[in-house]
Amino acid sequence: RAHSLPRCGRLLSTSSRCRTVMPAWVIDKYGSNEVLRFTKNASFPIINYPNEVIVKVFAAGLNPIDVAMRGGYGAATLSMKRDPLNIKQSGSEFPLVLGRDVSGVIMECGLDVKYFRERDEVWAAIPPWKQGSLAEFVVLSANEVSHKPKCLSHIEAAAIPYVATTAWSALVNTGGLRKDNCANKRILILGGSGGVGTFAVQMVKAWGAHVTVTCSQNAERFLRGLGADHVVDYTAGPVEEPLSALEKFDLILDNVGGDTERWALKLLKPWSGSKFVTLVTPFMQNTDRLGVADGMMQTAATVASKALKHLMKGVHYRWGFFAPSGSALDEIRDMVDAKQIRPVVEETFSFSQVPQAFEKVEKGHARGKTVVQIS
């Protein structure tokens, strides 16, 4: 990552450096939407490590994980990540700031940060164990951050990082796809109309793959507009029937879960390196339910036995996970600036409307992303 020159981001007042508090939406306990609380006195983020940066948030994207985390999803696993030595009391994560996507401007850089300068316009996907972007400022490791696409507004940019780095991790790191090996591949995306799906369709299409998606009937035109070659309506009956009639696939990305594993692996080309990558895994539920050690053992046993079972039938079974990555976002930025990928913002809310934004995401049936304008 080469060093960048400063860009003309909006100027930051020097007074913001002396502040100890900031406006944010926080939760003080897990629960339904009522636990969301607006405060003007959230702690101002601090640079604890020399590779960290403080970002002034202009826009924050919401994801289903924010709704789930509001309800306590992943609490055990994420607490371990925040406090590996288990020194702090339980509940020390509160007040917790949600929001996994950020687009904004670098306000301050740690001493070791070479790649960014103050006022650089950046975007990032924030790991779930860190304080989120529903706040005026957020602190991140520089390697989680990337310069934002020049052609996008902050609202548009905040619609991409979390779903993009998840899709990248699943398709590239786990699925083995690259821009130069997709040309003759047939890819099936189960659940094309949401955040991950709308990004994944565009990404593999830009790399020359043939893309089939499943979605509700009313999303068919929308997905064809994003480049899908073939669209199958899952509401018209058992979706495996029309899918079985198609030529077999090289890779399936599963954004849906449920009973998909029962039928989807049969749609892969056997003995050809084909892969089924699901993003809907029981990892967090296992650790929440059984505790971190037993949950991880249960998880490892489950994934290993499934992988072995399917390997004997000639196909690869994998779990995909979100992985924060500034360098992946650098590559995604180039694709966005080259107009190969566009943001899909379904609805924008103001900072005062954060509870309504959560309600929107909680209702499901997403057609792209929900974004909150922070400043």
Task: Summarize as ranges the residues that interact with ligand NDP (CB under 6 A).
Answer: 63-64, 163, 166, 190-191, 193-197, 214-216, 234, 255-257, 279-281, 320-322, 364-366
Tell me how far apart the alpha carbons of residues 82 and 92 are, in angstroms, rounded to a whole number: 10
Smallest distance, ligand NDP to C-beta of residue 68, A: 7
Reported residue count of the chain is 375
Tokens 């339980």: give the residue: 90
Q: Terminus-to-terminus CA distance in the chain, angstroms?
A: 29
5 CB-side CA count, 13 A: 1
At 153, list the tokens: 């507004």
Give the 3-state secondary structure of residue 337: helix
Would you say 29 and 94 are in contact if contact means Cβ atoms under 8 Å apart?
yes
Closer of 99 and 197 to ligand NDP (Cβ): 197
Closer of 215 and 251 to ligand NDP (Cβ): 215
Q: Which amino acid is at 22?
A: M
Closer of 72 and 257 to ligand NDP (Cβ): 257
Smallest distance, ligand NDP to C-beta of residue 232, A: 9
Smallest distance, ligand NDP to C-beta of residue 255, A: 4
Tell me how far apart the alpha carbons of residues 70 and 66 are, in angstroms, rounded to a whole number: 6
Tokens 């690259």: give the residue: 178
Smallest distance, ligand NDP to C-beta of residue 3, A: 31
Closer of 94 and 321 to ligand NDP (Cβ): 321
Closer of 9 and 343 to ligand NDP (Cβ): 343
Give the 3-state secondary structure of residue 312: coil
Using Cβ positions, the residue closest to ligand NDP within the complex turns out to be 194
Smallest distance, ligand NDP to C-beta of residue 286, A: 13
